[in-house]
Amino acid sequence: MKVLRLHATGDLRLHDENEPLPDRDECLLRVKAVGLCGSDVHWYEEAGIGDAQLRQPLVLGHEFAGIIESGNQQGQHVAVDPADACRQCRYCEEGNPNLCDNMRFAGHGVVDGALREKLCWPQALVYPLPDETHLPACHSDGAKRHCGRQVAGNPSFSTIRIQSAFETAKKRDGLKVVIEP
Ligand SMILES: [Zn+2]
Ligand SMILES: [Zn+2]
């Protein structure tokens, strides 16, 4: 399957990698739409964001929707929560998983994100959408409605197209680019 990795500032490369296998609490997703967020643009421009620096080639993209390809929910369209809290630290136990000490966040640090054809993500963090939802359209719509962002077209999945999407997102603050792998 195709996987896009950031190797250094502005250096995105398309790889051919094996499909991931879901763990017991995970589902396999076919990614259908990815939005480029301001934090993705930081990674792209600076090979890091805040304290986090690029340590290994990273798959960006944490705003995404897809279709489940494993288990009994196969075929279900879903929106995905990219923040995977540990559910064990004191913050999680206090009911504040957003402050989790051991957060895994898609497309951040050493946790690969969604700019790839398929990924595995915890079943508990995927949210069913109506079957008739056109996923890229719903993603663009969500971006417009909830983030007040403008939405550009849907560049297809290739290094050049995604590179140019990043360049566009970089130049026009507040622009959201939705990519269809
Ligand atoms: Zn974001
Ligand atoms: Zn936690």
pLDDT given for residue 131 in this prediction: 76
CA of 77 to the centre of ligand 2 (A): 28
- For residue 99, give the ligand nearest its CA: 2
- For residue 102, give the ligand nearest its CA: 2
3-state SS assignment for residue 39: helix
Q: Report, as ranges of residue numbers, the positions in the chain whose pLDDT lies below 50.
A: none
pLDDT given for residue 58 in this prediction: 97
Q: What's the fold here for domain 2-179?
A: Quinone Oxidoreductase; Chain A, domain 1 (3.90.180)
Smallest Cα–Cα separation from 38: which of 156, 181, 149, 160? 149
pLDDT given for residue 101 in this prediction: 93
Burial environment of residue 81 by CB neighbours within 10 A (0 to 12, 13 to 18, 19 or more): middle
pLDDT given for residue 134 in this prediction: 67
- For residue 91, give the ligand nearest its CA: 2
How many Cβ atoms from other residues are within 10 Å of residue 25's Cβ? Answer: 11
Burial environment of residue 24 by CB neighbours within 10 A (0 to 12, 13 to 18, 19 or more): exposed
pLDDT given for residue 138 in this prediction: 59
> Any idea where the domains of the chain sit in the sequence?
2-179
pLDDT given for residue 165 in this prediction: 76
Backbone angles phi, psi at 97, to 5 degrees: -60, -20
| Ion ligand 1 nearby residues (CB, 5 A) | 37
Model-level pTM?
Answer: 0.85
CA of 124 to the centre of ligand 2 (A): 15
CA of 76 to the centre of ligand 2 (A): 28
Please name the residue that has the structure tokens 């792998």.
181
Tens of pLDDT, residues 23-75: 999 999 999 888 888 889 899 999 999 999 999 999 999 988 899 999 999 99
pLDDT given for residue 37 in this prediction: 83
pLDDT given for residue 32 in this prediction: 85
